[in-house]
Amino acid sequence: MQELDPTILKKANSWLEGNYDADVKAQIQKMIDDKAYTELTDSFYRDLEFGTGGLRGIMGPGSNRINKYTIGSATQGLANYLKKNYPGEKIKVAIAHDSRNNADLFSAITANVFSANDIHVYYFKALRPTPELSFAVRHFGCKSGVMLTASHNPKEYNGYKAYGDDGGQFVAPHDDAVMDEVAAIKSIDEVKFTRVDANIEEIGEEVDALYLDNITTLSVSPDAIKRQKDLKIVYSPIHGTGITLVPQALERFGFENVILVDEQSTPDGNFPTVVYPNPEEKEALTLALKKAQDTDADLVLATDPDADRVGIAVKNTEGEFVLLNGNQTGTMLINYLLTAWEEKGKLTGKEYIVKTIVTTYLLDKIAEAKNVTCYNTLTGFKYIGELMTKFEGQQTFIGGGEESYGYLIGDFVRDKDAVVSSAFIAEMTAYYKDKGSSLFEALLDTYVQYGFYKEKLISLTKKGKTGAEEIVAMMDKFRNNPPAELGGSKVITLKDYGKSIETDLASGTSKPIELPTSDVLQFITEDGSIISARPSGTEPKIKFYCSVNGKLASKEAYAETDKVLDDKINTIMKDLGV
C-alpha cells in the first residue's frame, strides 16, 4: 500500500484545523479515512500556482485544487495589488463566468471578496463569453476584470483569468506584481469573504446591446450579406456561453438562416455530448457536421465553452465537409478583411494586423502584398492585446489571431473573440458565395496567388520530473547544436527567443530580437520552412510547430501538392528526431 508523505498529511491537517467550511473538512477527512492517498497527495502536494494567465485546475478540496479558498486567495491578492497600484482611487472591476460547473459559485465568491475590499464590482448576473468581459472592462473604465473559465479543458476543470485596465490579460511587469501579491497570502484568514451588497452592481442585457452595436459597425460587406441572407449556417456553442451572443451577432449582421445544434445549445458544464468541448477536435463537431449534411448547409461554426475560440467546417470541391485548421481560418479571415478594405478604399497605409510567431507566415506575405504592416508577437493573445493598446490612436487594427483558433476583428476587445469572428466568418462566406465561389475554393485561390503554406503541430508529452528534464535537455541540444539541414534544405537562421538573439548561421552574425524573452527556438531554412520548438508553460509537453510552403500551380493540383508538403513535414520531424 502507498505510504502517505508526512508533509502532505501536515498540510491536509492544517485545512482540517483551519477556518474552512465543514463540508470541505469532511471531504478531506474522508480521503484520509479511506486511505485515498493518491487523491490526497494530488490535492495538497503544492499550492495551485497563480500564473501569468491566472488559475486553472481540477475542482475539489485542497491547496492544489480550484475551490472557494484558492479562488478567494487569488482575488484577495489581486485586490491588494489594485489597492497598492491605485491608491486613493475608487477602483472598479468586472466579473463574468462561463457554463462550467460551479462557475457561478466561484464568480459570486470573487465578487464578494472584491466588494469586501471596497472595490466596485460590475457583475454579469448570468453566463457570458470571455470577450464580453474584456469589452465590459474597457466600457466601464475598470482597473481589472476576472473571467471564471477553464476554456476547453475537460469538465473536471475550472479556472480564473485576470485582466488589466485595457481589457487584456496582465502582461509584464504587472503580471509578476499580481503573482507576488497572490503568493503573499499565507492564510485563509487574510481573505475577506463577507459580501458588501452596496459594492456589487449587476449587469447583463444592456452590455450585450452595446457590445453587439459596436461589432455590427465593423461589417465590411453588408450588401453581399443582403443578397446572401439565406446562407445556411449551422452553429453549435458546445454547451457553452456562445449561445448568449453568437446567434444574435449573426442576426445583427443580417443572416436569417441560422440552424442551431439543439443537442448542444443548452449550457451544461458536464458537456454531455462530447469528450472534450474543444472546437479544434473533430469529435466535438460530430453533431454539427451531421446537421450540416442533413440540411445541406454552407458553413459550420462551433465555439468553445467561453466563446473565445471558433472552429469551422466548409464544403470542399467534392461537396464533402472538411474542417479548416486555425491557420487556414485565420488566413481566410485576414485575407478577406484586407481585400474588402482595399475594395472599399479604406486602406490608408496606417493599418496593421497582428499574429503570433507560431502562426502561419502566409499572413505576413498577404499583408505585405496589401501594404499593411504585420506584427509578430510571442505566443499568447495577451501579447496581441498589449500591442493593440500600444498603437491605439496611432494605427488602425484590422484583425489578428493565432493558430489555436482564436481571432479578433476591431479594437473594442483585447482578447480573442469567437462572437465577432463567427459573424465575420459568415460574412466572408457570403462575400465569396456572392462572387460565385465557396470558402474552400477561395482558400485554394489564396494558395495559388501567394503560395501554399501548410502547418502542423506536433506535441510530445513528457511526464514527471524525468520528463521535465528531458524537455530541458532537448531545448539545450537544439540551442547549442542546431541542425544543419531540415527537410533537405539548409538551416540558415536560428532565432533564440530565450536569449533574444537571431543568428545568421552562415556568417555567424547576430542581431537582437525585440520581444520579451521566452523559451522558444525557431529554425528557418533556405526554402522558407520555419520550425518552432516551444515547451508548454501549463502542461508536461514540448510543442513543435512546423510550417512548410511551396507553389500551387492550380486549384486542381491541390491534393498532389498537399501530399508533397505533408511528406516534407514528416521528413523534417524525422530530421529533428521527433
Higher confidence at residue 208 or residue 151? 208
- Work out the average pLDDT over 371-388: 96
Burial 563-572 (b: 16+ CB within 10 A, else e): eebeebbeeb
Angle at 492 between CA 379 and CA 367, to 5 degrees: 50
DSSP sequence for 346-362? ---S-EEEEEETTS-TH
What's the pLDDT tens digit per position in 15-52?
999 999 999 999 999 999 999 999 999 999 989 988 87
494 membership: H or E segment, kind and range: strand 489-496
Percent of the chain scored above 70 by pLDDT? 99
Q: Residue 222: its pLDDT value, please? A: 98
What are φ and ψ of residue 162, in 5° steps? -105, 140
What are φ and ψ of residue 322, in 5° steps? -125, 145
Question: Grid coordinates representing 184?
Answer: 503573499
Q: Residue 539: its pLDDT value, please? A: 67
User: What DSSP state is assigned to residue 117?
Assistant: T
Q: Residue 536: its pLDDT value, please? A: 80
Q: Residue 347: its pLDDT value, please? A: 96
Residues 6+ apart with CB under 8 A from 86: 143
Catalytic residue among 151, 421, 438, 518: 151
What's the pLDDT tens digit per position in 363-372?
999 999 999 9
Question: In the predicted model, is pLDDT for residue 53 greater than 90?
Answer: no
Q: Are 234 and 300 within 8 A, CB to CB?
A: yes
Cα(544)–Cα(520) distance, integer angstroms: 10
Please report the domains of the chain, with CATH numbers, ordered by start residue: 1-45 (no CATH), 49-203 (3.40.120.10), 210-219+230-450 (3.40.120.10), 452-576 (3.30.310)
What are φ and ψ of residue 30, in 5° steps? -65, -40
Question: In the predicted model, is pLDDT for residue 509 greater than 50?
Answer: yes
What residues pair up with 234 in beta bridges, in sequence order? 259, 300
What's the pLDDT tens digit per position in 309-352?
999 999 999 999 999 999 999 999 999 999 999 999 999 999 99
What residues pair up with 169 in beta bridges, in sequence order? 163
User: What DSSP state is assigned to residue 155?
Assistant: T
User: In the structure, what pLDDT confidence band is assigned to residue 191 with cuts at 50, 70 and 90?
Assistant: very high
What's the pLDDT tens digit per position in 515-532?
999 999 999 999 999 999
To the query of whether residue 151 is one of the catalytic residues in this protein, the response is: yes
Q: Are 106 and 66 within 8 A, CB to CB?
A: yes
What's the pLDDT tens digit per position in 408-422?
999 999 999 999 999
Stated pTM of the model: 0.96
Question: In the predicted model, is pLDDT for residue 537 greater than 80?
Answer: no
The percent helix, strand, coil of the chain (3-state, each to 5) is 40, 20, 35
Question: In the predicted model, is pLDDT for residue 1 greater than 50?
Answer: no
Closest Cα to residue 245, out of 481, 38, 418?
418
What's the pLDDT tens digit per position in 443-475?
999 999 999 999 999 999 887 777 888 899 999
